[in-house]
Structure 1
Amino acid sequence: MNLELIWVLGLLLAAVILFVIDKPRMDVVALLVIVALPLTGVLSIQQTLAGFSDPSVVLIAALFVIGAGLVRTGIAYRLGDWLVDKAGSSETRLLVLLMLCVAGLGSVMSSTGVVAIFIPVVLGVAARLRIAPGRLMMPLAFAGLISGMLTLVATPPNMVVHAELLRAGLEGFDFFSFTPIGLAVLGLGIAYMLATRHWLQRSDARDESGAPRLTLADLAQAYRLEGRERRLRVRADSPLANQALNELELRKEYGINVIAVERQRKFRTLLLVATGNSVLEPGDILLVDLASPAIGLLGAYQALGLEPMPLPNSYFSVHAHQLGLAEVALPPESQLPGKTIQELGFRTLHKLNVVGLRRHGQALEGVLVDEKLKPSDTLLVAGEWKAIHRLQGLSRDFLVLSLPAEVDEVAPAARKAPYALLSLAVMVVLMVSGLVPNVMAALIGCLLMGAFRCIDLDSAYRAIHWPTLVLIVGMLPFALALQQTGGIDLAVHGLVAVLGEAGPYVILASLFAVTALIGLFISNTATAVLMAPVAIATAQALDASPYPFAMIVALAASSAFMTPISSPVNTLVLGPGRYRFGDFVKVGVPFTLIVMLVSVLMVPWLMPLHP
């Protein structure tokens, strides 16, 4: 062992210790590594900084942008809505569906990209169901890693091992060679995360913002909107058909306040926020706020030609990406106290509806249009989010007190959703077909997102999580440093010497363990490059089939569950899940042992050791 190797191993140990104690930040540790390696002469500056041009780093940056485009167009949140709708209030069902969706998508595209796309989805779902993000973020990462065990193209290590078989003059793996083992691991992974999720919620993992933010449901409850919401369809014979709302005076005459209109157009439903000039059409579904829940019992629906429609959930939660609520106060310099709500002309001037009023902390009920405002009153207004944001600029007469947490889920480019899906589909097809390298496919997807205006340049740059990229770039040079100083060769020769006389199952388990341990410190692709030749040579020395040995290396390279730096997938969820280094060790090490046991048992069964 030479001095340079001792120095590299010492630097690697120091970095791991700093990662464990979490001081300083991981990206700062990575920068220290970038500085230390060339100063010692182990690597040149060009070699150390090569990670900044590494295709995998560029790929990850591009996938951040793709994910942001899906968020800005509302696709990510619609997927979250689907998960919530299918899961209901069951966290168990949500976790199962989440892991199945991520693993399925990750089997045909980059798992890092899938996880990056799902992070905002999971954060939004966790906020709505009031679940700690940590209970879902690690299952998200584990599902992304397991997806690499489902198909040949799911992850680069699979392709590396496949290519090594071809170089040895052998036939490579089929597209679905990995699938039976991957499905078994996925099933065990779901069961394991269901059993261990209580480990992932620490008592000190508080939201950095302090107290929980108000939600639409909280505001609706505070102003007693619950029970007053209705969906009413305009019949063809209704006297309201083809009439403008400001001519009907529904609120004053019947206590019916029309908030928005659902209108069917070809293959989609439009949501139109009601204004005084809104003209109702036959077949429109009105989203209304009643002054009293008893209004429908008084024959008003029949007289107006309205038909009640099902409303399983609050329409504010169903249309939260477009329709919002905000609490508004009257500042001391306001000129509005003494005026009635009718005189304010909110619907005409601000395109917002006043749906609630609180005085001295108590919500008033009944028809409010003729209620005179007092300085201490607060109003609840409903309308499009952009109209609410405009109201924030009118500081003289209005003070927007609070915006619900759902404002973070507003999709500013919702109309571009089909183009975002098209861009994503082009990227996936290019990745699956192999027509261009993955990084080129991702960059093409980014350019399409920009060309279709799903995302702008400023949003694209903000979407990239630079600390994650710096961490990955800082750890990449270790693989080259270990190679140049002889560390890898030393480990390989030792492994062959020790295991030469052992049984095949012991050798398979040892190959898995060594591959997984090396993968703690260098990328799983680099690990596969180093270990695949060793696995095939070991099989040939034992006069055994090389396929189970090659397969075990590929599976172990994807089993990067043990630390947050084992894989970019883990690093991505580290911050959003508010995890510490030890959280991955506590949950990941036992699961890695489970995967090793399953692999050692199933691989020889599917691929006999002796042809």
Structure 2
Amino acid sequence: IFIPVVLSIAARLQLSPSRLMMPLAFAGLISGMLSLVATPPNVVVHSELVRHGEAGFSFFSFTPFGLVVLVLGIGYMLLTRHWLNGEVRKDGRVESRRTLLDLVLDYKLNGRERRLRIRPQSPLIGHNLGELQLRTRHGANVIGIERQHKFTTRVIAADSGTVLHQGDVLLLDLFAKHDNLRSLCQTMHLEPLHFKAAYFIDQSQDLGMAEVSLPPGSQLIGKSILELAFRTRYGLNVVGLRRDQAAIEEQLVEEKLRLGDTLLVVGPWKAVRQLQSKPKDFLVLSLPAEIDLVAPARTRAPQALLSLAVMVGLMVSGAVPNVMAALIGCLLMGAGRCIDMNSAYRAIHWQSLVLIVGMLPFAQALQKTGGIDLAVGGLVNVLGGAGPSAILACLFAVTAVIGLFISNTATAVLMAPVAVSTAAQLGMSPYPFAMTVALAASAAFMTPVSSPVNTLVLGPGQYRFADFVKIGVPFTVLVMLVTIVMVPWFFGL
């Protein structure tokens, strides 16, 4: 989720993505140490405790350790940031995707944006945009409308059937002279408002842009924007036209389109994405980087937060089992229309699910054949006289090393029975041993294949295998030291 956000931040600050991608990966792994449900290994270890008749971990049992590791990770990244310089271009700039601001500057849209509120006595109230014909009569193109909805303000799409209400704020692309604006405000009783960013870039969660070209055979060639009724057909407004690498600013809507013309269209992101399904008429040249930051169900954020709060509350209180609390949270998300069935189905990480299901019989087979007893006996015979801290350190190291070759979830499935059986043979509490395995499984910092999180940032950060070893191994040792000091202190042996 955060990779596009961090790439956008790197582009704006003229930084190499390598400076930020690895801290992002480390933060993602550390987040798994903050709560019971933050990562699958925690749930696996908890389930193993329950299977042996223990109460298991509570929702916040992991939090003290995770917070200490988080603070340690922030300090560690600040100290080692010079190792993450990465490679930048010879001109000092970082290669990045074009943004909305780049498109605004390329098509010379600065100064054309206006926000006008409809006053109570305005003759626009009760009429739709098709009847008013603001574009042809006043040179004003309505690209969106801010409308108050209960406790929030929403930006709704502007099409010919949109009826205007009192208090609506019109987002205008004004390609006429300023005298026309004054006349429009006086005759239509409109109140000019300030805007926060160039050409409504601050509305990028609702309004997007796309650059499209006209391929051979396009039905748009030879016709003007007005003749095509472009907004009615595609739900988008044409606000820019480039021909022979030059932006055309005069009489844009009346200009006959030619083969190879490049159009800049503005409108809801949903309509922008749909352009890609019309290859006969358009060739989508570029979509701005902001498209990756759009929250599809942003208006449902309160319902989503409420569902999350209910789930956490049920887990913390222990009123229902954790699995039931998670299921209730999912059902509330669906009831609040935060997610639909197709999106929920796609969100399931089937690889992890199949991996856990497949590894459980493997762990069971090790128990039944005496493999786990053999491993535990060898561990106790070698380190039994060295004390519990040495055994915890060995458990951490073995778990971390196994995690270099298989996923951390599979590692937890294998090592959780070993940890619990070791505690039983030593006559100690199983909780410190189980917690050590859980934290070690999440400490997958050492190689790019240790965790899917590391693999995801490998490309955008332009890292080499050695970069993870250089940064990850020392930090893993620090996490091990924190674990063997804090875990016995919290849980006792």
TM-score band, normalised by shorter chain: 0.7 to 0.9
Cα deviation for residue 591 of structure 1 reads 1.5
Is 2:458 the counterpart of 1:571? no
Cα deviation for residue 322 of structure 1 reads 4.2
Q: 1:462 to 1:198 in 2, by over 3 A?
A: farther
Describe the SS at the equivalent of 1:274.
coil
1 or 2 for the larger relative contact order (CA 8 Å, sep ≥6)?
Answer: 1
Q: Distance in 2 between matches of 1:161 and 1:374?
A: 68
Is 2:102 the counterpart of 1:218? yes
AA aligned opposite 1:399: F
Q: 1:156 to 1:407 in 2, by over 3 A?
A: closer
Is 2:232 the counterpart of 1:342? no
Query: What whole-Å deviation, never above 9, does each CA across 1:157-212 have from its counterpart, x for those lacking one?
Result: 66368659975xxx9877655543332111112333455567678769xxxxxx96
Is 2:164 the counterpart of 1:284? no
Describe the SS at the equivalent of 1:259.
strand
Residue in 2 that maps onto 1:358: 242
Describe the SS at the equivalent of 1:369.
helix
Cα deviation for residue 500 of structure 1 reads 3.6
Describe the SS at the equivalent of 1:225.
coil
Residue in 2 that maps onto 1:404: 287
Name the stretch that deviates more: 576-585 or 284-293.
576-585
Q: 1:423 to 1:134 in 2, by over 3 A?
A: farther
Q: State TM-score, norm by structure 2.
A: 0.74
Residue in 2 that maps onto 1:263: 147
Q: What are the equivalent positions in structure 2 for 1:475-490 lying under 5 Å apart?
A: 479-480=363-364, 483=367, 486-490=370-374
AA aligned opposite 1:311: F
Residue in 2 that maps onto 1:529: 417
Q: State TM-score, norm by structure 1.
A: 0.61
CA contact (8 A) 1:152 1:158 kept: no
Residue in 2 that maps onto 1:208: none
Describe the SS at the equivalent of 1:312.
coil
CA contact (8 A) 2:117 2:193 kept: yes
Q: What are the equivalent positions in structure 2 for 1:51-66 lying under 5 Å apart?
A: none
Q: What are the equivalent positions in structure 2 for 1:462-501 lying under 5 Å apart?
A: 462-464=346-348, 479-480=363-364, 483=367, 486-501=370-385
Residue in 1 that maps onto 2:159: 275
CA contact (8 A) 1:468 1:571 kept: no
Q: 1:293 to 1:222 in 2, by over 3 A?
A: farther
Name the stretch that deviates more: 224-233 or 435-444.
435-444
Q: Distance in 2 between matches of 1:373 and 1:164?
A: 71
Residue in 2 that maps onto 1:156: 43
Is 2:11 the counterpart of 1:124? no
Q: Distance in 2 between matches of 1:488 and 1:600?
A: 23
Number of aligned positions between the proteins: 472
AA aligned opposite 1:123: I
Describe the SS at the equivalent of 1:523.
helix
Cα deviation for residue 369 of structure 1 reads 3.5
Cα deviation for residue 379 of structure 1 reads 2.5
Name the stretch that deviates more: 363-372 or 434-443.
434-443
AA aligned opposite 1:574: T
Residue in 2 that maps onto 1:34: none
CA contact (8 A) 1:259 1:383 kept: yes
Q: Distance in 1 between matches of 2:392 and 2:466?
A: 28
Q: Distance in 2 between matches of 1:473 and 1:138?
A: 31
Residue in 1 that maps onto 2:91: none
Q: Distance in 2 between matches of 1:605 and 1:392?
A: 58
Q: Distance in 2 between matches of 1:411 and 1:306?
A: 31
CA contact (8 A) 2:424 2:430 kept: yes
Cα deviation for residue 262 of structure 1 reads 0.5
Q: Distance in 2 between matches of 1:332 and 1:549?
A: 68
Q: Percent identity?
A: 58
CA contact (8 A) 2:49 2:420 kept: no
Q: Distance in 1 between matches of 2:167 and 2:433?
A: 65
Cα deviation for residue 451 of structure 1 reads 7.4
Q: Distance in 2 between matches of 1:564 and 1:376?
A: 44
List gaps (5 residues or longer) in structure 1.
Answer: 1-120, 205-210
Q: Distance in 2 between matches of 1:123 and 1:233?
A: 37
Cα deviation for residue 356 of structure 1 reads 1.2
Query: What whole-Å deviation, never above 9, does each CA across 1:95-125 have from its counterpart, x for those lacking one?
Result: xxxxxxxxxxxxxxxxxxxxxxxxxx21332
Describe the SS at the equivalent of 1:355.
strand
Cα RMSD, aligned residues only: 4.7
Cα deviation for residue 137 of structure 1 reads 6.0
Q: Distance in 2 between matches of 1:185 and 1:411?
A: 30
Cα deviation for residue 265 of structure 1 reads 1.9
Q: Distance in 2 between matches of 1:525 and 1:334?
A: 57
AA aligned opposite 1:404: L
- Which of 94, 103, 117 does residue 233 from structure 1 map onto? 117
